[in-house]
Structure 1
Amino acid sequence: MRISTKGRYGLTIMIELAKNHGEGPVSLKAIAQANDLSEHYLEQLIAPLRNAGLVKSIRGAYGGYLLGREPGEITSGDIIRVLEGPITPVEGIEDEEPAKRELWIRIRDAIKDVLDSTTLEDLANHTEDGGQDSYMFYI
């Protein structure tokens, strides 16, 4: 399984919204500028996130987007599944011989465990210098 720019940039949107949680709506333009990304591409990604209830849109001059739930209630797995589909390292694992099938299942489960145990709150509080807010990832 390879995470595409859809998943990576969607996660970026959600982390930015988590960092600004409780401070009002954030525009996609601000997120795009802060991360040197295409605003047009982010517009394409926000629709499925909104349809899944992960974000809410606010209209008007001071509008933008807010998280649909608390940052601690949204996992990176929620976001990746909406934008990338099911988490599967190999297609057709049910057709594999038992030893290989077991390996693919263990890899899938390890990836799911990391994604499902990492919340937006964890990611938003992560610091570049590995300070006390840093989060350790294990696979």
Structure 2
Amino acid sequence: MIVSTKGRYALRVMTDLAQQHNDEFIPLKDIVTRQGISQKYAEAIMALLSKAGLIEATRGKTGGYRLNRAPKDYMVGEILRATEGTLAPVACLEDDAVPCAHSKVCTTLPLWTELNQIVTSFLDSISLEDLTHKRIKSKAATSK
């Protein structure tokens, strides 16, 4: 699994909105200035996030974007799935995958299945609030 620039920028935009979270709409120009993202690219990301119901948009003089929920109620996995589509490490584990003819005899499928579960569980355990406040604890670091 490689998270694209779109996915990484979506997390940056969402953390920016979380840091400004006060029910006011934040102009896109302010977000792109703080995040160093092009306006056009940010518009495409905002469209994906809006379509997924993660943010609310309004037009006009006081227009902009805001979160629909409190930052603690968004999970990183949810945001990445909205922009990436899938977080599966191999095609056969994607949600819309055609059943693989080799799945019954595939010796590597258990490895990919376990990896998928670990990644999904990890990303779904980190809230936008955690990310904003840098409260991510590495399970690998604590098990040494």
Q: 2:110 aligns with which of 92, 99, 102?
A: 102
Q: Could you tell me how far 1:57 is from its partner in structure 2?
A: 0.8
- Quick check: 1:19 aligned with 2:23? no
Q: Could you tell me how far 1:23 is from its partner in structure 2?
A: 5.5
Q: Name the TM-score, length of structure 1 as normaliser.
A: 0.86
In structure 2, what is the Cα distance between the partners aligned to 1:137 and 1:50?
Answer: 30
In structure 1, what is the Cα distance between the partners aligned to 2:57 and 2:18?
Answer: 14
Number of residue equivalences? 132
Q: Could you tell me how far 1:74 is from its partner in structure 2?
A: 0.8
| Stretches of structure 2 lacking an aligned partner (at least 5 in a row) | 94-99
Q: Return the index of the structure with the highest Cα Rg.
A: 2
Q: Could you tell me how far 1:98 is from its partner in structure 2?
A: 4.2
Contact 1:57 1:64 in 2 (8 A): yes
Contact 2:13 2:35 in 1 (8 A): no
In structure 2, what is the Cα distance between the partners aligned to 1:74 and 1:87?
Answer: 17
Question: What is the identity percentage for the equivalent residue pairs of Structure 1 and Structure 2?
Answer: 36
In structure 1, what is the Cα distance between the partners aligned to 2:127 and 2:15?
Answer: 10
In structure 2, what is the Cα distance between the partners aligned to 1:5 and 1:98?
Answer: 32
SS of 2:57 mapped into structure 1: strand
**What residue number does 1:113 align with?**
121
| Stretches of structure 1 lacking an aligned partner (at least 5 in a row) | 127-133
Contact 2:49 2:82 in 1 (8 A): yes
**What residue number does 1:44 align with?**
44
